[in-house]
Structure 1
Amino acid sequence: MIEADNSKGQLVCIIDADYVLSDKEPLIRLWGKTKSGRSVLILDRTFDPYFYVLPKPSADLDKLVEAIKAMEIEGSKPTRVEIVKKNLYGKEYDFIQVFSNNPTDIPKFRDTVKHFDGVKEEYEYTIPFYRRYIINKGIVPMSWVRVFGKEIKTNADMDLSIEAEKIESIKEEEISEYPSLHILAFDIETSQAEGDEIIMISMMDTKDFKKIITYGNKASNVETVANEEEMIKRFFQLVKEQNPDMIVGYNTDRFDFQKIAEKCEKYKIPIILGKDDSHMIFRRRGRVSAARFRGRMHIDVYDFIENILEDSLSTEVLSLDRVARELLGLKKEKLSWKEIEELWKKGDIKTLGEYCLHDSLLTLKLAKNLLPQIFELSRVVGQTPFDASRMSYSQLVEWLLIRAAFNSNEIAPNRPKYDEMMRRRRAEPYAGGYVIEPKEGIHEHLALFDFQSLYPSITITHNISPEMVDCNCCEVETKVPDYEHHFCTEKRGFIPIVLENLVRRRIDIQKKMKKLEPKTMEYKRFNSRQYALKILANASYGYYGYPGSRWYSRVCAKSITAWGRYYIKNVMELAKKLNYEVIYGDTDSLFIKIKTKKAAKEFLDKANAMLPGVMELDFKGFYKSGIFVLAKSGVAAKKRYALIDEEGNLTIRGFERVRRDWSKIAKDTQEKVLLAVLKEESIQKAVLITKRTINKLKSGKVKMDDLVIYTRLTKSLSQYEQVGPHVAAARKMKERGITVKEGYIIGYIITKGTGSISSRAEPVSDAKDYDPDYYIHNQVLPAALRVLQGLGVTEEKILHSSGEQSDLTMFKKK
């Protein structure tokens, strides 16, 4: 029975969407949950796929319409052909809208129509059908709808199935929470010794279910089956029995489900993990093939972290262990792949089972931590969590704009063809942000100012949008600095309107957050939403210059950076007029010597008074002192500085301390050196710290974990002509049966012996010793001298001096 009578409709939160062909016609399926936790499948047969045709100005519109109506491809004909008025880059045109009753006909029809006389271009033929549906119907995933219709029976494992007659979207203000979702996490373990077999699968969910499955030896905490084939079948059976709304994993797109798919092909097992009887499929999402099953959402937490969160994390590698440590304060049980092999050979299933189950626990906790961000991102861009969690920044912006385009009666421009994309890539680079070289040395009393969302605010303030470039409708009052371009001041541009909406929504949410306790669920939900709005607004500038962009505009991209240079220069000029010294400026931030916080805030008010539109300068912090150092070339290094505030907190930018391609011992030494210089104002202590580290390396007492260097593979191993240490280590890993691909981060240690550094680079799990000379001369000394060489310290002094007393007075800038 339906929970509410049909006159009132059924309230459902939409979690996922897809379509199937029913009697050769498309059937949209919306998967959702009610407030009481019942699973609901909504079916809609009333929506037809379509695309647009733009006629040439000289075309006979009626004849072209008749020609399109008459075409027949493989027995299919358009079901409807209509003339509609739509805007393309802000200008209104007559478009021909071509409908079909089968989404697979759309590319066939388009391929035929493009050869017709009178056709200039075709549009929106690549938008997936289920995405087209939710955009046109105004349905926002992870938001609520009220559905009216009749209850029907289907083969889907759902509490309720409804044939929709009408679907109404509920405003966000009316219901903002999510339904309670049943989430199941899983992890697999493999063994190369057993011929690359899956040897164990663990599962854990939000209803306290936990299970470990293996074969062979038995243990009290593990369910044992006959063999690998039976284990996989049992895994599928347990998923069906537990019937979760969502399956989550860590790197499951690229590893776990790929491995399971290989085995299922070998054993001829159908992979049925969804809520109907369809098989799992892999859908291409960027560089990754995403595992999808109908009705049961699959979220690979790793994909979201790699695409969206990586730059905000301090961890060098995105392993489950490192990410869980940073985000949860929890860590993996420590077992190397060799130890896993040994446990399996010995039959220690209990220990191996605990290890495997702990991975599922960490994955489940990570998912619960990150799903609110994924859900809010899904809401903002209007795409399902399955899709949104796998999108890059540019893809998120694109789908935000496609939805906004439909709501504005705009046609979404086509993605560029290969040749056009290559032409864009080969274009001469345009000038970026303005940089004033930092003044080398130690500076006291520093105020840091930062433009609030500089590029989005410039886009909104100056109406920067492709269709607004060099308009003829208004007098040119203000040109772009350094260029002969201008932007319309009479009409608002499409993209500035979209961005302004994002910015205003974020401001409104931040106001609401101020009235809430930070520990409340509502506060956390709002915080996830404002973060989603922020990253999308900030990513919009990059989308103008992205070669694969639908709304690509080199003029817009370079105009935004030109205005950025103009405004930061103006603020710097203001500082000079007020007799403040600018120590460093880069794109959207600047350091100014100011004695007090009060003076800094007075300067802020004066700067903001001269900024137009929504542009605003923020006061980010006051620092007791900071050090800016020289690059190897002898000029001050951009974005390489360290600051210490009045509470003794250290902020580091650009030093080896914040880069993954330096060992922990080098980075820790550098941080201690910076603290000695900035906090204790002692060069002697900084030198002593470095000498002690060197002596410890010589003694052989440094932990191997502190010596690991991480480097990402930027291409496949076969494409490397120069074999660097990380490539050599990766090749050794591959020889030992470990999967290594482009994009993987390789951890290695330089070991003792003869030969090149690369030949002595061993994967972490295989390294038995380390080369102290390498770590002294290629890691610790360079990292320490990056700070100390500008203060008169040489390598000779560190290695051979007795460490005479030195202070920093002579190095402080007045």
Structure 2
Amino acid sequence: MRSIETVPYEGEYVYCFEVADNLHGLVTIDGVFVGQSFGYTGYKNARFGRIECHEAINAYARDILVRTMEIAESHQYEVVHGIVDSVWLRPKPDADAIEKMREHIAGSIGLPIELEGRYKWIAFLPCKTTGVGALNRYYGLLENDEFKLRGIELRKHDTPEFINICQEAMLGELSYASNAAEFRERIPRAVDILRWTAKRVLDRAIPVHQFILTKSVSRTLPEYVVLTATAAALKQMEKRGFSVEPGEMIRYILLDARARESERKVRVAEFLQGDEEPDAWEYIRLLCRSGQTLLAPFGFTELKLLDLCRDLSDVSTPDSEAAIHVREDYKSHGHSRARGGVGYKRPWNAEDPPEPEADEA
């Protein structure tokens, strides 16, 4: 950095940055220091740079990733997965020590390499549109019983609370597996948890507020051609004198997904009376979609899970939440509690319903 320019600032806060080593980075037109600008260089509204810069960064990234893979393979490690800044490796029986390989990679590419952790198991999820493995959708359990989650419902802000709780409980059941074989053995129990939740939806045993969906408004109300759920919610807001601008959030529950009238289709969260009956099968469809997210690599699609929920006569719903107990302080109140990175420890306790006590003779 050759010079520092003083500019007028009218904000409430002033931010001070400092670096320990030599400064490497870019300064945007707004005067904000950017240390990592990979994604921004390819952004269509970027205020600086060119697409050629973005392509060059990708070229360097590919070269570094390929060299990293080659070095790992030379040390007898199998490359399971790799993205921009991470690789997942599986050691072969005659693999070198991980530290030896790490030092080799760091010395070759000139960048520090850190071992984030060792996984008991990890599941890489397919892309929803192509079925090919996605780069940023996976979940895995580290040896210290901490999860790393990417691209699943627990990482999204718009997931209804009861789906968060169900997915947390399914992950909780899977977390008792210490390897891939035990993971597969736990899958039927995880499916049972989903079916148990579907039973509670049909029995109206879940509080209405746990069905709230949170959506980002992408356009003004007149720009909606079809009466989507979001458009119906905007109509309700407008009718009551409220305006929601594009980019803002709106919260509602689905009453009848097929209805053509806004009042019958949804109910905005702020106008809930507490006696509404959500569209049970529409929410079960969303529930099964979240189940597909976790279990798609093992043959459980949304349609297959829906079929398993058609007949729930074999599923018993206890009076309490004994069958799936999630610690209250981990329940998601309107948004996911999952941080999605290292440090998200298992908060679940999946239990079988208590057996009825036998009568004394």
Answer yes or no: same fold by TM over 0.5. Answer: yes
How far the C-alpha of 1:668 sits from its partner, in A, is 2.4
Within the alignment, does 1:677 sit opposite 2:184 as a pair? Answer: no
Instruction: Specify the structure having the higher radius of gyration (Cα).
Output: 1
The SS at the match of 1:620 is coil
Q: Distance in 2 between matches of 1:776 and 1:677?
A: 21
Q: CA RMSD in A?
A: 3.4
1:726 counterpart = 2:230: yes
Supply the distance in 2 between the matched residues of 1:602 and 1:577 (Cα, whole angstroms): 12
| 2:266 corresponds to 1:761 | yes
Q: State the partner residue of 1:605.
A: 103
Paired AA for residue 664 in structure 1:
E
1: CA distance between counterparts of 2:7 and 2:293? 54
Question: Counterpart of 1:398 in structure 2: which amino acid?
Answer: I
Q: How does 1:105-124 map to 2 (within 5 A)?
A: none
Q: Which runs of 5+ in 2 are unaligned?
A: 20-25, 178-182, 316-361
Residue number in structure 1 paired with 2:35: 537
| 2:37 is the counterpart of 1:376 | no
Rate the CA distance shift 1:713–1:589 in 2: closer, same or farther, 3 A: same
TM superposition shift of 1:605: 0.9
Structure 2 residue 130 is matched with structure 1 residue 623: no
Counterpart pick for 2:195 among 687, 691, 702: 691
1:235-270 Cα distance to aligned partner (Å, 9 max, x none)? xxxxxxxxxxxxxxxxxxxxxxxxxxxxxxxxxxxx
Equivalent in 634, 639, 642 of residue 139 of structure 2: 642
Q: Distance in 1 between matches of 2:61 and 2:284?
A: 43
Residue by residue over 1:466-510, the C-alpha shift from the partner in whole angstroms, topping out at 9 and shown as x without a partner, is: xxxxxxxxxxxxxxxxxxxxxxxxxxxxxxxxxxxxxxxxxxxxx
Aligned-partner SS, 1:619: coil
| 2: CA distance, partners of 1:784 / 1:753 | 21
Would the aligned equivalents of 1:650 and 1:675 in 2 still touch at CA under 8 Å?
Answer: no
Cα contact 1:642–1:674 (8 A) shared by 2: no
For the residues of structure 1 that align with 2:205 and 2:225, how far apart are their CA atoms?
Answer: 36
Give the match for residue 290 of structure 2: 783
- Kindly state the Cα deviation for residue 626 of structure 1 after the two structures are TM-superposed: 0.9
CA distance in 2, matches of 1:638, 1:625: 17
Q: Which residue of 2 aligns with 1:771?
A: 279
Contact 1:397–1:543 (8 Å) recurs in 2: no
Q: Is the 8 A contact 2:160 2:210 kept in 1?
A: yes
> Does residue 739 in structure 1 map to residue 243 in structure 2?
yes
How far the C-alpha of 1:650 sits from its partner, in A, is 1.7
Q: Contact 1:622–1:645 (CA<8 Å) still a contact in 2?
A: yes
> Which structure 2 residues correspond to residues 454-473 of structure 1 after superposition, within 5 A?
none
CA distance in 2, matches of 1:745, 1:697: 25
Matching residue within 207, 222, 225 for 1:703: 207
Contact 1:648/1:679 (8 A) holds in 2: no
| Change in 2 beyond 3 A, CA 1:789/1:563 | closer
**Taking structure 1 as reference, are residues 558 and 790 closer, same or farther at Cα in structure 2, changes over 3 Å only?**
closer
After superposition, the Cα gap between the structure-2 partners of 1:595 and 1:624, relative to the gap in structure 1 and judged at 3 Å, is farther
Please name the residue that 1:574 is paired with: 71
> Hey, what's the Cα distance between the residues in 2 that align with 1:298 and 1:551?
24
Q: Distance in 1 between matches of 2:155 and 2:198?
A: 21
The partner residue of 2:31 within 382, 394, 400 is 400
What amino acid does structure 2 have at the position aligned with 1:760? Answer: K
Q: Give the total of aligned pairs.
A: 290
Within 2, Cα distance between the matches of 1:782 and 1:298? 43
Q: 1:213-241 CA deviation, whole Å, 9 max, x = no partner?
A: xxxxxxxxxxxxxxxxxxxxxxxxxxxxx
Q: 1:626·1:678 contact (CA, 8 Å) conserved in 2?
A: no
Distance 1:775 1:757, change over 3 A: farther
Instruction: Flag the 1:549–1:298 CA change in 2: closer, same or farther, 3 A.
Output: closer
Query: How much does 1:723 deviate?
Result: 3.4
Deviations 1:49-90 (A, max 9, x none): xxxxxxxxxxxxxxxxxxxxxxxxxxxxxxxxxxxxxxxxxx
User: CA shift at 1:683, angstroms?
Assistant: 1.8
**Partner residue of 2:334?**
none
Counterparts in 2 of 1:629 and 1:703: CA distance versus 1, 3 Å: same
Write the distance in 2 (CA, Å) between the matches of 1:542 and 1:792.
34
Tell me the TM-score normalised to structure 2 length.
0.70
1:137-176 mapped onto 2 (5 Å cutoff): none
Match of 1:166 in 2: none
SS at match of 2:88: strand
